[in-house]
A and B are shown apart, each in its own frame.
Chain A
């Protein structure tokens, strides 16, 4: 073992991995006697060890190379922990700890529908491989664990294999993740064969500035697919909701961040001076944020809504990274630092509140047995804890001050404003202001989206029998959500300290040009304290004389209580916005009114809302059709006749010999 940093930190990190590997191995045998508590505690202990290791290793980190028998053919298993990996590992540790507490209660609700052994094996493997992807120090280690991460999550999407939707989601996800891996592997092979030390797989030997755009572009595309950036995001809203809720939390909270991490790692640590990638990142990021939040708003499945909102948030992060690249190319150091701080803080924030919201959705699912907003409503009465914690998540993700989402959104706005006034090009200045305008639209849309998610699911009257009889989640599930909600609150009030904590990361990424680092200058805690004091004052002023408060029915125009069917539904809530963005969303409403006197006494009314998936139809259908017809043609070669196949072998051999002679 070789480590310039803390040896204790490395040991703790390996111990964390040992706990996870134990979890995977014990879950493997078919008839294992161990229960949920056992696997959960292994996962949770591993996460705690990881946190301890991160604290000890901050900010120098350590390097660890696996001893000899473990070897990947061309490169050893090499792990390296430094300042950049720390924020990402921290979200991973936090979320996997929360997931470990949450899962036992959640699995009880799923009962026989999910193979618990498979669940624990794959979840632990998923967490384990994500940690190794983040720490990997060479290309082969990265690819091996990247594959483990992708495949274990595919298996988890299929955790309920009976459902047709799960099968379809897993297939789409598998396709997307195959493509991502192929692109990344291609880029890695290119980079390693052209590295300074010939055929070195180590990241530190690679130099991306020397070569053409090709490997950088391949890598960028591959990472965009994994991060769920428009137009490669289509797998995300299928895959994330189909997995069990804790896994969705891990996928949305951490896995997409792994792709973000890789972007930071490769496009900053290795000097890439390409404005093409920078502008592409900004453009795709901005489009993803608008697209993601619009589709989230139209969604009526709580988990799909959250998945689309992940597309939005990842878009914000990627646009910040693009801006940082642009700032670095044009030498605007403060701008670069602001944008990077925004990206990092938003990664951490999004990990916390998206994890919280997905766990909340899982809690709703287990309590009310549905996550369709059309059947929910009025859960505030039966699920007070879930409701309060979900409220914190919604306020955070809608970036409302003082909650934590605001700090990173503020840094993002500041960085674009900085571009608008510090750049020399008129086009860059306009870009800065235009993006600010678009982000304010995104902000308003996300407010609409999360008032819908929270208001329709938890407030008002129950829209179905299931919602009426909903039960509060179990203790463990409650504690997991409470943990993440507390993290959100802690991040809200320590935003300026957190931004200062990122300084070593920024120093690492911008080694030669780093200056002072940005600060989050809004005195949020002071404002919050003043707000609380004012609240107290108003409360004392107006509640000193107790006026009579009467509880009564909701106003019904004197007709008597209206049925819950008369309430606003999720679909009708977002209907005006659907009409405004009708062309983009391909939003259609079909209204049928029937009966003899349909004008005055309609006998039946049916309204159907339909969204044509234009992106899939235009962009993906032709490609998939081409692959299918190609494979159809190839099928003809398979004659199932041994002589013909022997002929193929013979021809192939001759061709190979000829090629060999020629070369």
Chain B
């Protein structure tokens, strides 16, 4: 890829990362509202919410230290880095070495580390609960995510996600012939993302019933600008994770490997919206699981990854 196309890719990714994420949240809300026979809010309400939070005064607990105050910015920067390194859009910039899958998984780890510490920082009961559950969820999810991606990496003979998901027959002649593997990896990643993004049936992002929540409990102390940054970080993370599993699904379609960039780009955006709709439908139709039942849900994600792993070991 030449330097000029890389710049264009960079700008396009930046625009997508800035504009798309709140729209995903809006899609979920609107769909849920329609499913419940409500009109729902305006489509652009999440953007207004973010602007409103930015303008508001901020209340900070006097118990907190610099950890709490720097977390929102640190996480935003980490997730922005991830958004530029990960091939979650077919037209994203291509960094061969830096789009390493282990780097990306551990960058997510860095964001989690800061979030959990910020939750513990205020010394609130809810923050502690949320933090404890977050690390538990993470340890259930992580093997599934890493195993799915590492299986792809094993077949592609590289750990660079940029190379794995490049629609390039030169780079990955074997992966082209394995649509099932892409489907399995995609579904594994999608199920893991649902848990990671604190959506139903693992977590309920809309209640404030303390006993049930994970993510909301952790960010209970955030307000004003801090909350705006945290919310935006969360939706950006949602776009990246759904985009990543979406790319896996798209790679299973043989026609897309030979399609031109415009079609692929449109398909990338479309699949993110499609997955968002699936989440919205799940949230409307499925009840939240009891906390103890969550491992069973995540075992489906790990199961998909294990099947993916079996194929990877078989085909090499």
Contacts and interface: CB of A to CB of B under 8 A. Distances in A.
Nearest to B62: A551
Given A378-B63, A399-B106, A573 B139 contact: no
B49 interface: no
Interface in B141-164: 141-143, 145-147, 150-151, 153-155, 157, 159
Contact of A417 (B62, B81, B153, B224): B153
Given A522-B100, A549-B57, A574 B132 contact: yes
Contacts of B312: 420, 433
Given A421-B157, A523-B97, A547 B73 contact: no
B125 A567 contact: yes
Contacts of A142: none
A174 interface: no
Contacts of B225: 542, 547
B113 A447 contact: yes
Contacts of B124: 554-556, 562, 567
Contact of B147 (A380, A400, A440, A521): A440
A253 to B, nearest CB: 23
Interface residues of A, number: 79
Contact of B61 (A409, A535, A554): A554
Interface string B127-147: 111011101101111110111
A568 B150 contact: no
Given A421-B316, A429-B154, A461-B123, A568 B113 contact: no
B313 A564 contact: no
A426 B309 CA distance: 12
A452 B141 CA distance: 19
B309 A433 contact: yes
A19 interface: no
Contacts of B291: 576
A377 B132 contact: no
Contacts of A406: 103, 106
Contacts of B67: 380, 391, 459
B51 interface: no
A436 B306 CA distance: 12
Interface stretch (B38-46, B114-122, B243-251): B114-122
A421 B150 CA distance: 10
B65 interface: yes
Contacts of A414: 102, 159
A441 B103 contact: no
A576 B65 contact: no
B59 interface: yes
Interface stretch (A27-35, A314-322, A526-534): A526-534
Given A535-B74, A564-B123, A437 B143 contact: yes
A252 B277 CA distance: 51
Interface residues on B, range: 35 or more
A109 B112 CA distance: 36
B242 interface: no
Contacts of A426: 313-314
A575 interface: yes
Contacts of A429: 154, 313, 316
Contact of B154 (A420, A459, A553): A420
Contacts of B55: 547
Mostly helix, strand, loop or mixed at chain A's interface? Answer: helix
Interface in B76-109: 76-78, 80-81, 97-98, 100, 102-103, 105-107, 109
A573 B128 contact: yes
B58 A459 contact: no
A552 interface: yes
B154 A447 contact: no
B271 interface: no
B56 interface: yes
A548 B147 contact: no
A448 B110 contact: no
B275 interface: no
Interface string A395-434: 1001111000010011001100100110000100110111
B135 A451 contact: yes
A567 B145 CA distance: 32
A459 B56 contact: no
Interface string B6-35: 000000000000000000000000000000
B131 A573 contact: yes
Contacts of A409: 102, 106
A548 B316 CA distance: 59
A222 interface: no
A225 interface: no
A542 B131 CA distance: 27
Given A381-B65, A414-B159, A552-B61, A451 B106 contact: no
A444 interface: yes
A575 B142 contact: no
Contacts of B180: none
Q: Which of A436, A440, A539 has the most CB of B within 10 A?
A: A440
A539 to B, nearest CB: 7
Interface of A: 377-378, 380-381, 387, 391, 395, 398-401, 406, 409-410, 413-414, 417, 420-421, 426, 429-430, 432-434, 436-438, 440-441, 443-445, 447-448, 450-452, 454-456, 458-461, 521-523, 526-527, 530-531, 534-535, 538-539, 542, 547-556, 562, 564, 566-568, 572-577, 580
Closest 5 CB pairs of A and B: A568-B128, A460-B123, A455-B120, A440-B146, A448-B135
